Amino acid sequence: MLMMQRALRRLPLHCVMPANNPLSLSVQFADRRLADRLTRTRIRRWVLSAQFAPAELTIRFVDADEGRTLNRDYRGKDYATNVLTFAYSEEGSDDGIVRADIVLCTDVLLKEAEEQGLPVEQHATHLVVHGVLHAQGYDHEDDDDAAEMERLETEILARLGVPDPYLQRN
User: Which phi and psi (to 5°) does residue 64 adopt?
Assistant: -65, -35
| DSSP-derived 3-state class of residue 163 | coil
Angle between helices 40-50 and 120-135 (to 10 degrees): 50
Q: What is the domain partition of the chain in residue ranges?
A: 18-164
Give 46-91 pLDDT, tens digit per residue.
Answer: 999 999 999 999 999 999 999 999 999 999 999 999 999 999 975 5
Parallel, antiparallel or unpaired: strands 83-87 and 98-105: antiparallel
Q: Which fold has domain 18-164?
A: Collagenase (Catalytic Domain) (3.40.390)
| Full-model pTM | 0.87
